[in-house]
Amino acid sequence: MQFSSLRLSPSILKSVTAEGYTTPTPIQAQAIPPVLEGHDLLGCAQTGTGKTAAFALPILHRLMSEPADTTRRGPALPRALILAPTRELATQIAESFGVYGKHTGLTHTVVFGGVSQFHQVRALHRGVDILVATPGRLMDLMQQRVVNLTQVKILVLDEADRMLDMGFIRPIRHIAAAVPAARQTLMFSATMPKEIMHLAESLLKNPKRVAVTPVASAAPKIEQSVYMIQRDRKQTLLEVLLKDRAIERALVFTRTKHGADRVARRLHRAGVGAEAIHGNKAQNQRQRALDKFRSGISRVLVATDVAARGLDVDGITHVFNFDLPHEPESYVHRIGRTARAGASGIAISFCAGEERDLLRSIEKLTGKRVAAATLPELPAHVPSAEPEEEHRERPAHRGERRGKPGQGARPAHGPAPHAHAGPRPVGALASRPTRTWTKGAPRRQPRR
């Protein structure tokens, strides 16, 4: 099958051909015809299978075939709404609409959190045909009455299982309720747990179902191996392996945000260009890190699972699982960042003794053992000044102020706990630290 046989608009085919695409991927060949016919769609496909084009191309065609309502006054209202779980994925979807739709005359914009909403609101006021958004920022704009979804004809939920994991199920239902019931709904998910099926049943009407590349099957062109190693030696092993210049562009996954920052810092000290990306980074920081990685300024990108889906960077030769993920499905998505577009890739995992159960879960899901690699000779271990243990990452509760790692949070009001423990030695009154009193707190009577 060729793209020319899918009955797409010549304007769209011109853009597709300019990008060098002639043959659709399996998900595109299965999804585009029913979407063009106006059916709801439930698609099961992991990242890297070309599913963005599977919904972007028919959406562009349908919006061109159905001109916007010109009888109403004011700016054009969105006629297609695409929801994505992360800023990076939303940005890449918007870029795809820009590439495929540059000859169609249709307009689009993207809204996400972590940045000022000024330019996003300005774009909405100018009018757009296609809106790509993350649920959180879209809900904010809806509450401010900045965005109007009453003209949406097509609703897309991309990476629905990821949005479910991130707690977006209620915002999705709220947004879907604000969109006209007489719409076409498309849902794509890499996995199909019961919660996703329940969501699909409530939002889709007699959907066509397509499924390609089940999540349990990792890309066949990815060479997988695992090093059995102590946790405190993982950093040393990573630095030794990265000395191989054949590793042109590497993505390193850690379990926590603090872990990503620590690995990147240590790689810098070892002379390896590395950037960290995770949810605590501001959007401009994340974008700068991605730009450096894409341009080759940074050879290594250290990330949490926020980048496991939606990160589309060409030429990633190696993926390192510095920490094995708790969910075996995340392993498949992580290593899927390499071997894209028909290329080959290498996935290397580090497994500490306490992570053996996680490795067995991964092997059970994929149906094959991960080959054990022989450890290279490592330099003598030098204890790091930085703590190895990951402290729990949680936001401070109301009325608390976060302390330093390893210390508990203490009340934001009132005197600090006394620095000394046990009875005060005789003659220590003169060296006693000055107390800070809060307004309204009872004063202790001075000693006589």
Dump pLDDT digits (tens) for 303-345. Answer: 998 755 667 787 899 999 999 998 887 888 888 888 765 567 8
Contact 264, 302 (CB under 8 A): yes
C-alpha closest to that of 57 among 93, 85, 91:
93
Extents of the domains making up the chain: 3-211, 222-372
Q: What is the pLDDT of residue 164?
A: 84
Which residues lie below 8 Å from residue 272, measured CB to CB, with a gap of 6+?
Answer: 239, 242, 299, 300
The answer to whether the 3-211 and 222-372 domains have the same CATH topology is yes
Write phi, then psi, for 119 (nearest 5 degrees).
Answer: -70, -30
> What class does CATH assign to 222-372?
alpha beta
Residues (pLDDT < 50) of the chain are 389-431
Q: What is the pLDDT of residue 414?
A: 45
> What class does CATH assign to 3-211?
alpha beta
Q: What is the pLDDT of residue 385?
A: 58
Q: Taking the alpha carbons of 8, 13, 15, 21 in that order, is the dihedral positive or negative?
A: positive
Reading the block at residue 365, the tokens are: 């899901």
Q: What is the pLDDT of residue 446?
A: 56
> pTM above 0.75?
no
